[in-house]
Amino acid sequence: MSQQRLSNDEFLSHLTQLFTSTHAASHGSVYLTQKPLSSESESPSPSSQILVRATNGLSKPHRTPKTKSSTPKLKIATVVEIADLDSFYARYAEVCKKGMEGLRKRDKKKAKEKAKAKKKGKSGAAP
């Protein structure tokens, strides 16, 4: 379950696979995070690397009931140099756009009906 540091190309191919497996399961989440990678030797200067991480959003095995899916939590990461950032972000954006093609709009109708019924119940109870 440890986090794998991959090369930029490997990270993008694993991210594509992660999106594909999430869509194949017809539910699930993919969490993407980015942050500057700090080194202990340079404290005041700006960071020259960015850490990009992705996970499938599953809980740790000891937190999930046995009846849940046995799919393990997947964590991948890569370190991007500032010089390579523009080319990486161009490819990263393409992968993310492809991964979001299968998304559908959330059905807000049920939530609106619940809120309306709740509001009606409150106004009807108080004279």
Domain residues of the chain, as ranges? 4-125
Are 50 and 36 contacting, i.e. CB atoms less than 8 angstroms apart? yes
Query: For 83-110, what is the mean pLDDT?
Result: 87
Higher pLDDT, 50 or 73: 50
Provide the CA 62 distance to its chain's centre, in angstroms: 21
**46 pLDDT above the threshold of 70:** no
**107 pLDDT above the threshold of 70:** yes
Question: Which pLDDT value is given to residue 7?
Answer: 94
Burial of 107 (0-12, 13-18, 19+ CB in 10 A): exposed
What is the CATH architecture of 4-125? Answer: 2-Layer Sandwich (3.30)
Question: Which pLDDT value is given to residue 73?
Answer: 84
Higher pLDDT, 4 or 36: 36
Higher pLDDT, 35 or 124: 35
Give the neighbor-by-neighbor strand order of the sheet with 49-55.
Answer: 4-6, 75-81, 49-55, 31-36
Q: Give the residue among 3, 5, 20 at the shortest CA–CA distance from 95.
A: 20
